[in-house]
Amino acid sequence: MNEIVLTDKKHGMRALLLWLVSFLAAVLLCIAGASLVDAFPSWMLEGAVGVVLLVLSILWMSFSWIFLCGLKVLKPQEALVLTLFGKYVGTLKEEGFYYVNPFCVAVNPAAKTRLKQSGDVDSGHGLTLSVQGSSSATVSGEAAGKKVSLKIMTLNNSRQKINDCLGNPIEIGIAVMWRVVDTAKAVFNVDNYKEYLSLQCDSALRNIVRIYPYDMAPNVDTTGDGVADEGSLRGSSEVVAARIRDEIQSKVKDAGLEVLEARITYLAYAPEIAAAMLQRQQASAIIDARKMIVDGAVGMVEMALERLSENNVVTLDEERKAAMVSNLLVVLCGNRDAQPVVNSGSLY
């Protein structure tokens, strides 16, 4: 289905003025016909003409409202997909006052669908639908407009629980910026393009997240080139978001949608393992800190021994050097302040 943009239908004001003039003329003809019927009997020519004028004017005033159905008003970044007796005739996309065939019907199967996204304001009344774990959709009981919004909208799907490549359950949420670029494909190629987009976002999120570990892990290939890399959900969020965006775009292209950007809005371990993973991170941080402290302490001990030897401050045998190194390491690596013991006797 290819989109057909109607650009020669901006005759709304002209059609409205013409209808008003014709309606006013019908009122005048009705008055004239009624006066002729009152003045002349129906078998005379003037009376017959009056009857005809009266009937025609009444019929026109009774059914002329049908022509008003062809008047369409569009605001910026709005579109209207039109069908005539089931056949697609074109799309109105530019702002303006249009007049089309009054029997044309606007089509938008997603008009009543309300997702957790910008542009969809839920009035609080209606039936809530569950879209397979994605954000809930609400169908309003009131008739919604059939216009298709061409604005950039943000879809904020609900958080999902997904296992990463190491099998750890995590919770993740994304926000997707998207818009409609082909109204014909959006309306006719899929049943409901908003729900379709939401489902594809969930599917793409699961496909990409299960490739990455939450934190950097050894011997994990996230790029598919057979070489282990340092990719992770926490450290490579920009790369992960770009892959999610490309995955969604490949799925919704046939629905006339364009995905502009995808962003990770929430990322955390699932509650059942969050405490254990926190302890693991704390232990890893303590080990890294201890390694840094030990490296610094060893360097300071080496520097102290070298300075003592260079300046000939004191000559120590191997046993005394070992005792000195032990004492310095205890002082430098200990968690508490050292309590010195003063030796008032000899060196040995």
Strands 87-92, 78-84: pairing kind: antiparallel
Q: Which pLDDT score is estimated for 343?
A: 58
Average pLDDT of 113-120?
Answer: 67
pLDDT band per the 50, 70, 90 thresholds, residue 117: low
Contacts 24+ apart (CB under 8 A), 218-224: 220/165, 220/166, 222/165
pLDDT band per the 50, 70, 90 thresholds, residue 125: very low
Global confidence as pTM: 0.70
Pick the more confident residue, 334 or 88.
Answer: 88
Delineate the domains of the chain, giving CATH numbers in brackets: 12-106 (no CATH), 152-269 (3.30.479.30), 282-333 (no CATH)
Q: Which pLDDT score is estimated for 44?
A: 66
Residue 139 has pLDDT above 50, yes or no: no
Residues 223 and 229 sit within 8 Å (Cβ to Cβ): yes
- The fraction of the chain above a pLDDT of 90, given in percent, is 31
Q: What SS3 class is residue 40?
A: coil
Q: Which pLDDT score is estimated for 120?
A: 61
Q: Which pLDDT score is estimated for 289?
A: 76
The mean of the pLDDT values for the chain is 80
pLDDT in tens, 188-215: 999 999 999 999 999 999 999 999 988 8
pLDDT in tens, 226-240: 787 888 888 888 999
